[in-house]
Amino acid sequence: MDEVRIIEIKKSVFDDNNADADKLRGELKEKGVFLLNLMSSPGSGKTSTLVRTINMVKDKLKVAVMEADIDSDVDAITIKEATGVESIQLHTGGMCHLDAEMTRQGLDNLPLSDIDLAILENVGNLVCPAEFDTGSCVNVMILSVPEGDDKPLKYPLMFSVCDLVLINKIDVLPYFDFDMEKCKENIHKRNPAAKVIPISAKTGEGIDQFAQWLQQQVAVWKA
Amino acid sequence: MHELGIVFHIIKQVKEVAKENDCSHISKVVMNIGEVSTIVPYYLEDCWKWAVEKEDMLKGCKLDIHIIDAVTHCDDCGCDYPTVQHAKICPECGSEHTWLLKGNEVEIKEIEVN
């Protein structure tokens, strides 16, 4: 029997994922591919927002989408049918988030030399996806009006890792006690640098602003 | 249920360390888990028991969790206070200019190998 010994590690569990993510970002920069990580709770309108946005930018940018879900391929089919862009489904095997390695495996299935903008639609969840860096160039999250203006206070990590917060379903604002200014204030309390754009994936309001922001980001990344 | 993903990452890292040190088996992993790290220790242990049995190198490996108390510092009055009880608002002066001093750790402290 070998002798028992103690090896000190003292390392964050997230260190290896963070290193994988940085490596992936470096490779994407070299290839000129911009990766957007889109997060939100289930039912906030990630897929319908993407459909509107992609249809607005697909003449200027070559877009592909990775849909991550625990099961089914309904989102990947919706994107393909409604926009015509390349769309693949990733299954997380029961996991509630994607990490950098899973994102890399997804990207391996896309024709990267022919893509400007790769979009990762993360698993609908406001907790775990915020903890794992996917290797994306920007993090965008959607908060929808029915969820309430207090969500930035309840899920602070998610709001603190986002570059942009889209406030979706503003067409139903008259029916909810949702205070837009208070919501922005709550977001900026957690993340003073976050940009906020109110949108409606249903009516299309605000989508042009998001599309413009996205094109600027891609141009800067590829420069 | 992010605990399962966390367990996979712990296993990957400790296996690498054990290999680097020419060890064939890991008998214990000691973790530092912060009170406000969003990890539920009970779930972590449950996922751990299931996951280690699938790994030859970690069969029967114990998980030892040390909880780190969460402490927040107030920039305005300079006090340190317990985060879980008072969250973002300083109980001494009511300021919101506060930040987490410790309690967010998800750290592998050490492993016991043979």
User: Nearest to residue A203, comparing CAs of A84, A45, A42, A32?
Assistant: A45
CB contact (8 A) between residue B114 and residue A97: no
**Residue A93 forms contact with B (CB below 8 Å):** no
- By the 8 A CB rule, do A34 and A137 touch? yes
Q: How many helices (H) and strands (E) does chain A have?
A: 8, 8
- How high is the pLDDT of residue A97? 84
B109:A10 CB<8 A? yes
Would residue A12 count as lying in a domain?
no
B113 inside 8 A of chain A by CB: yes
Q: What is the mean pLDDT of residues B57-84?
A: 96
Q: Give the pairing of strands B80-82 and A164-168.
A: unpaired
pLDDT band at A153 (very low <50, low <70, confident <90, very high): confident
Residue A200 is encoded by which pair of tokens? Answer: 């409606």
Q: What is the pLDDT of residue A205?
A: 98
Q: Is the pLDDT of residue B25 over 60?
A: yes
CATH code for position A22: 3.40.50.300
Pairing assessment for the beta strands A86-91 and A63-69 based on DSSP bridges: parallel
Which domains does chain B possess?
Answer: 2-113 (3.30.2320.80)
Q: Range of A103's domain?
A: 17-222
Higher pLDDT, A75 or A136: A136
| pLDDT tens, position by position, A35-70 | 999 999 999 999 999 999 999 999 999 999 999 988
Backbone conformation region of residue A13, classed left if phi is above 0, alpha if psi is from -120 to 50, else beta: alpha
Contact predicate B73/B101, CB 8 Å: yes
| A111–B contact, CB cutoff 8 A | no
Provide, as residue numbers in chain A, all residues whose Cβ is less than 8 Å from the Cβ of B12. Answer: 16
pLDDT score of A213:
98
The answer to whether A190 contacts chain B (CB < 8 Å) is no
Paired residues of A7 in beta bridges: B111
Mean per-residue pLDDT, B36-43:
91
CB of B103 within 8 A of CB of B83? yes
Residue of A nearest to B23 (CA): A2
Residue A8 in any domain: the answer is no
- The answer to whether position A6 is within a domain reads no
The alpha-helical segments, DSSP class H, found in A99-206 are 100-107, 151-154, 156-160, 180-190
Q: Is A138 left (phi over 0), alpha (psi -120 to 50) or beta?
A: beta
For residue A1, pLDDT beyond 60: no
CA distance B25 to B29: 11
Q: Residue B72 corresponds to which amino acid?
A: T
pLDDT, position B114: 83
- Name the residue among A176, A162, A152, A170 with its Cα closest to residue A45: A170
- Mean of pLDDT over chain B: 94
Q: How far is CA A190 from CA A22, A50, A61, A155, A219, in A?
A: 24, 26, 32, 10, 28
Residues B80 and B100: their CA atoms lie apart, in Å, by 9
Tell me the C-alpha distance between B109 and B33, whole Å.
10
Dihedrals phi, psi of A211, to nearest 5 degrees: -60, -40
ipTM of this complex > 0.90?
no
What is the pLDDT at residue A96? 80
Contact criterion met (CB < 8 Å) for B114 and A8: no
**Quick check: A55 and A78 in contact, CB under 8 A?**
no
Total number of domains constituting chain A: 1
Q: What tokens appear for A41 in the block?
A: 């709770």
Task: State chain A's mean pLDDT as an integer.
Answer: 94
Confidence of residue A94 (pLDDT cuts 50, 70, 90): confident
pLDDT at A2: 61
Task: Retrieve residue B25's tokens.
Answer: 């088996």
pLDDT at A157 (0 to 100): 87
Of the candidates A17, A14, A12, the one whose C-alpha atom is nearest the C-alpha of residue A100 is A17
pLDDT of A126 higher than 70:
yes
Taking contacts as CB-CB distances below 8 angstroms, the residues of chain A near B23 are: 2, 7
Question: Smallest CA–CA separation between A203 and chain B, in Å?
Answer: 35
Q: What distance lies between CA A190 and its chain's CA centroid?
A: 18
Q: Which residues in chain A have Cβ-Cβ distances shorter than 8 Å to B96?
A: 189
